[in-house]
Amino acid sequence: MGAAAPARHSLSAFLAISVAVFALDQLTKALALAHLSSGHPVPLLGRIVQLSLVHNAGSAFGLVQASWLLILVGAACAVLIPLLVALRAELPRAQVILLAAIWGGSLGNLLDRLRTGEVTDFIDLGFWPVFNVADIAITVGVIAMAILLLTRR
């Protein structure tokens, strides 16, 4: 899926996408904190999509609650993902984009954990745990990367 990109272009694209994901995550969390109150959801699409302020000490979607483990995983991602991109002479563009999304999201949630001990979540689908932009980037990035690697020939 996508041609291999030269290393310097891969790193530039990786950093640009990562910064964009991180910035969007932090901006939306700041807006949620400024305009939402816990326990008072704001409907976007009726009851299908609401904005609900939740402070989550666990992992994406509140699945894992060990905060020290989450900080350790976040820190490992913060170091290992850019190292992988920098050391690989050529990576397919799709992999660079997906790694950038995962890294940007990981940094967004890691910063929250280090700053306050919890992550700000605010996107509420009603049938799923409340989540944020970083969770979307990480989840979509990991699932798409798995599909990409499993279907690669």
Residues annotated catalytic, as ranges: 121, 135
Q: Tokens 């350790």 sit at which residue?
A: 72
- What tokens appear for 90 in the block? 């050529």
Residue 25 buriedness (CB in 10 A; 0-12 / 13-18 / 19+) = buried
Q: What string of DSSP letters covers 78-123?
A: HHHHHHHHHH-SEEEHHHHHHHHHHHHHHHHHHHHHHHHSSEEEEE
